[in-house]
Amino acid sequence: MPSSSSPKLYYPKIPEIIKPPGRRKYRIGFLHGCLMEAALPWVNRAFIRVLIANECEVVTPRSQTCCGAASMHEGFMDHAKKLAKNNIDAFENLDVDYIVASASGCVATLKMYDELLKNDPEYGKKAKEFRKKVRDLSELLLEIGMNKNFGELGITTTFHDSCGLAHAQKITQQPRIIVRSIPGLRLVEMKDSDLCCGAGGLNWLLHPEITKETLSMKLRNARETGASAIIVSNIPCYLNISRGIKRWKINMNVLHYVELLDEAYRKAEKHV
């Protein structure tokens, strides 16, 4: 099974263009995220492998920058607009069919660019066109017809609805549909799965006392399911829940749902 920690100390920079070995069905623009690439680079590599397994060419422009989520959370809207414009420019001429990010909080922010820049005479229309292409990976895979050639995993999991996915994007069923399609994976719903883990915004950094209380509730609910792994979609949740598991010595693992997909594809390849 995939692990919530990686043994590798160094990950090479993601190539600008990665082509699938066979035919290309879609050309996907990938925003790797600043925190995700710095803290969980193996998740980004798993994300790319899953896209490749679904016959997608992955384009990761070097000129991309932070999505602007942290700036928006703290009210620095002018800076958020600057970052949004930079990313729109970075992806504008790449001729991609869709734009995705590995952190659901980043995806939620990208989907806000049209509202953020609606009054900008130069970028208002560009932001609308950009927004039309943005998808969460779970949305994308169901939209394009996901490759279901999975190997069996044999794991019991529970799903944490990250705020950036469930509340900001109103996406709850798509990732569940995807992980339930993996043979041998059992998904047991926890109580209040959409309760914030405490990492919302920058709370996990700025207000640890609030985070500790909500995280304790989240982990208590997760433990009651008997699952061995908690599935997440956003990096603050990943890091915050992992920290709680270590602090309270809970025998559970934390995984982004793309890590499960990646492992299932890899197991299928081994049996070919």
Strand partners, 76: none
As averages over each run of 10 residues, the pLDDT of the chain (272 residues) reads: 63 95 96 94 97 98 96 92 98 97 97 97 98 98 97 97 95 97 98 91 70 91 97 95 94 97 94 61
Best CA proximity match to 110, nearest among 199, 43, 33, 57: 33
From CA 181, how far away is CA 121, in angstroms rounded?
45
Q: How far apart are CA 88 and CA 100, in angstroms?
A: 13
Tokens of 250: 């809970």
Q: What is the pLDDT of residue 208?
A: 73
Q: CA-to-CA distance for 210 and 167, rounded, in angstroms?
A: 19
pLDDT computed for residue 155 by the predictor: 97
Domains of the chain: 17-142 (1.20.1050.140), 149-270 (3.40.50)
The per-type count for the chain, helices as H runs and strands as E runs, is 14, 8
Q: How far apart are CA 223 and CA 244, in angstroms?
A: 12
3-state secondary structure of 206: helix
Instruction: Check residue 14 and report its DSSP letter.
Output: P
Per 3-state DSSP, what percentage of the chain is helix, strand, and coil (rounded to 5)? 45, 10, 40
Instruction: Spell out where 72-116 has E strands.
Output: 98-101
The C-alpha R_g of the chain, in whole angstroms, comes to 18
In the block, residue with structure tokens 């070919």? 272
Q: For residue 202, what pLDDT is reported?
A: 67
